Amino acid sequence: SSIHLFHVPFSLQIHNLPIGFKAQEVGQSIGNFVGKFLEYNDRNNTHIYHPFIHIRVLLDVRKSLKKSKKIRKPGGESNEVLFKFKRLGKFCYLCGILGHLDDSYGKLLMMGEDDGTHQ
């Protein structure tokens, strides 16, 4: 009960990669952007038209999840790659943090505009 579990490994799919960006070095770089890179799936390059690469990352569950990242191709053109996490469990789409659902924000969402007075 005294061990803190703040870092958890997760599977991550990286979508919308430009052609030629499925190398392990790219997966490792993006994995370290999201959390801490753990593993690259060697089957990522089995077919040129495979829509994503799959990696494993170690995430700090106290921080909000990253949803995307812009990467730049040689020559200046940039692409936004999208992240899809597998088997997240409880996840809040409002704040992006694991461990609770967005239904706990019901009162906050029901509130009108803040008039500046507090009771």
Q: What is the pLDDT of residue 19?
A: 79
- Nearest Cα residue to 92 out of 60, 63, 58, 57: 63
Q: Is 49 domain-assigned? A: yes
Q: Is 60 domain-assigned? A: yes
Which of 4-8, 12-16, 51-55, 115-119 bottoms out in mean pLDDT, i.e. has the lowest? 115-119
Q: Is 23 domain-assigned? A: yes
Q: Is 106 domain-assigned? A: no
pLDDT for 82-104, tens place per residue? 999 887 766 665 666 666 666 65
Q: At residue 16, what is the residue type?
A: N
- Nearest Cα residue to 21 out of 56, 66, 71: 71
Which of 17-21, 27-31, 81-85 bottoms out in mean pLDDT, i.e. has the lowest? 17-21
State the Cα–Cα distance between residues 45 and 20, nearest whole angstrom: 10
- Nearest Cα residue to 61 out of 32, 97, 88: 97
Q: Could you give the count of Cα atoms lying within 13 Å of 113 in the half-sphere of its Cβ?
A: 1
**Would you say residue 1 has pLDDT above 80?**
no
* Mean pLDDT of all residues in 49-57: 87
CATH code for the domain in which residue 91 is found:
3.30.70
User: How many domains are there within the chain?
Assistant: 1
Q: At residue 6, what is the residue type?
A: F
Give the count of beta carbons closer than 10 Å to the beta carbon of residue 82.
14
Q: Is 74 domain-assigned? A: yes
pTM equals 0.72
Q: Is 115 domain-assigned? A: no
Q: Is 53 domain-assigned? A: yes
Domain that holds residue 80: 7-98
Token pair in block for residue 106: 């019901």
- Average pLDDT, whole number, for the chain? 79
**Would you say residue 53 has pLDDT above 80?**
yes
Q: Is 52 domain-assigned? A: yes
Question: What is the sign, positive or negative, of the torsion defined by CA atoms of 16, 37, 42, 54?
Answer: negative
Kindly indicate the confidence band of residue 114, based on its pLDDT and cuts at 50, 70 and 90.
Answer: low
**End-to-end CA gap in the chain:** 38
Phi, psi of 109 (to 5 degrees): -75, -25
